[in-house]
Structure 1
Amino acid sequence: MIDTHIHSDTRGLEDLELMAMCLDGVITLAHDPYEMKSLEVWESHVEKLLKSEVDRANKVGLNLFICVGVHPRAIPPDLDEAILKIKEYITHNKVVGIGEIGLEKATKEEKNAFIKQLTLAEELNLPVVIHTPRRNKEEITKEILEEISTLNLKNKDIVIEHCNKQTTKMVIDEELYVGLTVQPGKLTPQEAVEIIKEYKDFSNKILLNSDSSSNASDVLAVPRTVLKMKLSNIDREVIYKVSHKNAVDLFGLTIF
């Protein structure tokens, strides 16, 4: 099993060890741990993922992968410099994509950062992970999908995160990847199971994650949801795709 979206720097070592006991791998992403008053603050955040978090994961045997990027709630003043730094960071052997990027309130500043990073992902031919907010989710997801459509990207390795029942259909219709986040305030394991059952014919486009962070989270959300799927008699191949295979294929993960 793979948890495709966590923020390992917000969790204690015991949580990382628990994940290592249950999961074949996790992907940690850039987020908004600080107010990004300068480029240096953002750099420190990303570089902590690349060094300290890899070291912590190794200590407990957790297979950790990383996405780097500028979160919409954490845009530094020198965005263009940050874009250049991303080009450097992706050479790290644990970096597998760009993210999480996206829109929170769909401001002009957010859209500028979003478009520049989508363009960068296209240039580098990397998967990209896109945040959608808790508030106005349907409306802002529509704006995200419109921006993607306008750019006419060849790269379709795009995950729209934190989908609910309404936005899942929108994302499936655009032939992009659906990220189902099992976390208090987002989806329960059973709600995720119901979405997977409804869209089982598109199971090759669905990923599971816990978004384990400083918010209330369940680091065992993915295995808990897999268990619910088994109890709901979902086909084993579907379970394997949404909990493991799709992540490995999309991000090119090396599982040991």
Structure 2
Amino acid sequence: MCEQALIIDSHVHLDNIRRKNPDRIAWMRDRHIIPISWAFADAIASVADLRNYLREQADFIEQMNREGLKCFFLSGVHPRNIPPDLKPEAVKDLVAPFLEKRYCLGIGEIGLETGSQREKEILAAHLDLGKTVKEMGKRIGIHTPRNNKEEMTGELLSLLAGWPEIREITVVDHCTPETTGHVLKAGLRAGVTLSAIKTTLTELGQIVRAHSGDVSRIMCNTDSGTVFYEDIGELAVSDEFPPEIRRRLTFGSANEFFSVSSYQ
């Protein structure tokens, strides 16, 4: 089905879609949309909770593939999911087993929310797995927060500079007209989340015009979960963008980065 896909939604939370918007599973399947589900749980109080969630996430993605929805996932500890008993040195043993799963494309959703020292330590523990992730041909997906986005993106890029070897396998997501250029200049891929509360199609147009030579390094998504957004579908048919740009933003860039078409 990869060859027929119209869209790769490069960042969703498919488990939350199934829970809150179950009809959208068939909706995506019928439209040959391939979702990539990043790890994020509603409530994590302990490492045990986190381990159970990551196991359930992997099992759920396998189930969805058996039921006919081609989909993939990233595994990791979202900055809002860091439990008080998680030690940085425990991150490897927690996350690494899931990298072996058939439909796992790498690590994510990791990053910064408030920029606290603890968040940075947990993020660094994930990034220390970068050499292994790269050798496995997998990828890293990074979260940037809605609040203080420019400041947090700057802190994140400064931190990522300490791992130059993973630059080519890393996408920094939720980029905006104000932050996309900084991410691209750092040699990273930029993810743009399309919705009324994150980045609109009008703002995406600003990004494309400002970075027309780097569109191959920009991929779009909806970050759909408890709320489902159709904005990437609207982009796919929008007359505001040339067909080749629409195809690149909704399929080509994500397909080349995540190598989705290589999975049978």
TM-score (norm 1): 0.90
Distance across 2 between alignment mates of 1:168 and 1:23: 28
| Match status 1:181 vs 2:193 | yes
Of 16, 21, 44, 1:10 maps to: 16
Aligned twin of 2:101: 92
Distance across 2 between alignment mates of 1:65 and 1:105: 28
> Deviation at 1:23?
3.7
Distance across 2 between alignment mates of 1:247 and 1:46: 23
Counterpart secondary structure, 1:134: coil
> Structure 1 stretch 105-114 or stretch 197-206: which is displaced more?
197-206
Distance across 1 between alignment mates of 2:181 and 2:30: 34
> Structure 1 stretch 173-182 or stretch 78-87: which is displaced more?
78-87
Aligned twin of 2:257: 250
> Deviation at 1:20?
1.6
Identity %: 25
Code of the residue aligned with 1:224 in structure 2: it is E
> Deviation at 1:57?
5.0
Structure 1 stretches of at least 4 aligned residues deviating more than 6 Å after TM superposition: none
Distance across 2 between alignment mates of 1:8 and 1:152: 31
> Deviation at 1:66?
0.6
**Is the 2:133–2:139 contact (alpha carbons within 8 Å) kept by the matching residues of 1?**
no
Distance across 2 between alignment mates of 1:58 and 1:187: 33
Of 203, 222, 226, 2:232 maps to: 222
TM-score (norm 2): 0.88
> Deviation at 1:155?
4.1
Of 48, 55, 66, 1:47 maps to: 55
Code of the residue aligned with 1:245 in structure 2: it is G
Of 140, 145, 149, 1:128 maps to: 140
Code of the residue aligned with 2:220 in structure 1: it is L
Counterpart secondary structure, 1:159: strand
Distance across 1 between alignment mates of 2:65 and 2:10: 15
Count of residue correspondences:
249
| Match status 1:232 vs 2:240 | yes
Gaps in structure 1 of 5+ consecutive residues: none
Aligned twin of 1:241: 248
> Deviation at 1:152?
3.1
Aligned twin of 1:115: 124
Gaps in structure 2 of 5+ consecutive residues: 1-6
Distance across 2 between alignment mates of 1:58 and 1:200: 39
Counterpart secondary structure, 2:214: helix
> Deviation at 1:37?
1.9
| Match status 1:143 vs 2:146 | no
| Match status 1:64 vs 2:76 | no
Shift in alpha-carbon separation, 1:183–1:122, aligned structure 2, 3 A = farther
> Deviation at 1:16?
1.4
Counterpart secondary structure, 1:73: helix
Distance across 1 between alignment mates of 2:47 and 2:241: 49
> Deviation at 1:252?
1.8
